[in-house]
Amino acid sequence: MAGAVSWIVFGFIVGAIAKLLTPGRDPGGFLVTILLGIAGSLLGGYLGRAFGWYGPNQNAGVLMSIIGAIVLLTIFHLLFARRFTWRSRLGPRL
């Protein structure tokens, strides 16, 4: 049980830092921030092992977890970027 609580707290901290460092409007609230931090940590650990920075049984550090969460937010922004501009139905105002 303590392991799950620590994952949630760590995920929230990492997700919140990643949202602060990433420009633009970010999705979701508290729950999405936690999930973003946990997924960023998993992605950061995978990338660290792929580049040879971590061994097979090592977890990602805080910095690599934040980098993983920023990568996920960047992918989100690229996939769901607004491709149109909003115009008012009232027309231009003077």
The fraction of the chain above a pLDDT of 70, given in percent, is 83
The three-state secondary structure class of 6 is helix
In a domain, 63, yes or no: yes
CB 70 within 8 A of CB 40: yes
Q: Per the structure, how many domains does the chain have?
A: 1
In a domain, 35, yes or no: yes
In a domain, 91, yes or no: no
Domain that residue 40 falls in = 2-79
In a domain, 55, yes or no: yes
Helix or strand (DSSP H, E) at 47: helix 30-50
Provide the pLDDT confidence category of residue 26 given band limits of 50, 70 and 90.
confident
In a domain, 93, yes or no: no
At residue 85, the pLDDT reads 47
Task: Tell me the per-residue pLDDT of 56-78, one tens digit each, with 9 for 90 and over.
Answer: 777 778 888 899 999 988 888 88
CB under 8 Å to 35, separation ≥6 — which residues? 11, 15, 28
In a domain, 57, yes or no: yes
CB 68 within 8 A of CB 44: yes
Q: Whole-model pTM?
A: 0.74
| Nearest of 56, 32, 35, 34 to residue 46 by alpha carbon | 56
* Mean pLDDT to the nearest integer, 72-88: 69
At residue 57, the pLDDT reads 78
pLDDT reading at 22 higher than 50: yes
In a domain, 58, yes or no: yes
**Distance of alpha carbon 62 from alpha carbon 89, whole angstroms:** 47
